[in-house]
Amino acid sequence: MPTWIIVAALLLVNAPVLAGPWDKLREDGVHDPRSPAINRLQEPGDALSKLTPDSAGNMVRWVQSLEKGEINPRANLRPDTKIRLYDSDVMLNLNGGMPMVKFPHRQHTLWLDCANCHDHLFKAEAGANKLSMLAILNGEQCGVCHGAVSFPLTECFRCHNTAKPGGKPPRPSLPIAIPAGAVPPK
Ligand code: HEC
Ligand code: HEC
Ligand code: HEC
């Protein structure tokens, strides 16, 4: 599939997340600025600006922030919930024109349980799933989370992170520049 189709679809899907850092609560269109409770809430920028910065999404590099101990989220609410970490990378996209996708279980299971993905999103068997970038852009598969709650789909090379044998090395940013003004203001 030509890369420009993906980029065009993605501009439509992801435009809001390109629009930069944290709104003040009074201006975010979600909180009622007239509510007396607004003064009791912490501004997102006060909390998030202290964490490892990212250049996309909600502007925090969450995996690094967790690994550096900047945050220490509670792993379970009930003591009987079993925490399962799984350290296994699965290579995806072995045949396309883009670099391969190394899917890291360890980083995911720092945040998630197996049941968040298995088996309703992915069968737990390498190569057993029919993955597609259009489905992902459509909010399915990886796109259930990426572009919604985890880093956005504009970060092509955070997923397409491994060169094919003899292939071009992954680049750190979008394959084409997004022209100024292409992203509608919020
Ligand atoms: C959240 C992870 C993720 C992100 C971000 C991502 N991709 Fe993908 N991409 C995948 C997966 C998984 C596949 C499916 C691999 C397969 O077919 O086995 C894929 C497949 C593709 C394919 C089809 C196969 C190929 O290599 O030709 C293209 C083209 C593609 N992606 C382009 C992009 C572009 C361009 C971006 C950024 C605008 C991007 N992707 C961002 C995970 C991602
Ligand atoms: C964020 C989603 C996600 C989570 C959470 C997740 N997996 Fe997976 N898992 C995948 C994907 C994607 C594949 C690759 C499927 C493919 O190649 O088609 C996979 C493949 C597997 C495989 C086969 C490949 C391998 O590594 O041997 C096993 C086994 C597996 N998962 C077990 C687990 C277990 C156990 C947990 C919890 C500790 C877990 N997974 C959590 C997405 C996830
Ligand atoms: C159930 C939700 C979920 C699904 C489905 C999911 N991810 Fe993730 N992913 C996360 C979360 C949460 C993080 C950590 C937060 C972040 O980096 O934004 C993460 C992080 C990652 C990272 C590590 C980023 C880093 O900084 O080290 C990669 C790479 C990645 N995902 C690729 C994928 C690919 C490829 C797929 C599909 C095969 C996928 N993810 C499916 C939730 C998900």
Q: Helix, strand, or coil here: 60?
A: strand
Residue 179 CB partners (closer than 8 Å, separation 6+): none
pLDDT digits (tens, 9 = 90+) for 74-113: 988 999 989 999 999 999 999 888 999 999 999 999 999 9
Q: Which atom of ligand 2 is nearest to the CA of 125?
A: 23
Pocket test for ligand 3, best of 58, 108, 110 (most atoms within 8 A of CB): 108
Q: How far is CA 167 from CA 76, 102, 164, 172, in A?
A: 42, 15, 5, 15
Work out how many domains the chain is built from and give that number.
Answer: 2
Distance 107 CA to ligand 1 centre (A): 19
For residues 93 and 49, the answer to whether their CB atoms sit within 8 Å is no
Give the residue-averaged pLDDT of 35-57.
Answer: 92
pLDDT digits (tens, 9 = 90+) for 124-155: 999 999 999 999 999 999 999 999 999 999 99
Name the residue with the closest Cα to ligand 3, atom 26.
Answer: 63
Looking at the fold, whether 63 and 151 belong to one and the same domain comes out as: no
Helix (H) / strand (E) element for 62: namely helix 62-67
Looking at the fold, whether 54 and 110 belong to one and the same domain comes out as: no
Threshold 0.85, pTM exceeds: yes
Q: Say if 153 falls within a structural domain.
A: yes
**Which residue range(s) make up the domain with 166?**
78-177
**Cα angle, residue 145 at apex, residues 90 and 164 outer, rounded to 5°:** 30
Q: Say if 92 falls within a structural domain.
A: yes
Helix (H) / strand (E) element for 103: namely strand 101-104
Looking at the fold, whether 65 and 126 belong to one and the same domain comes out as: no
Looking at the fold, whether 68 and 85 belong to one and the same domain comes out as: no
Task: Decide if pLDDT at 179 tops 50.
Answer: no
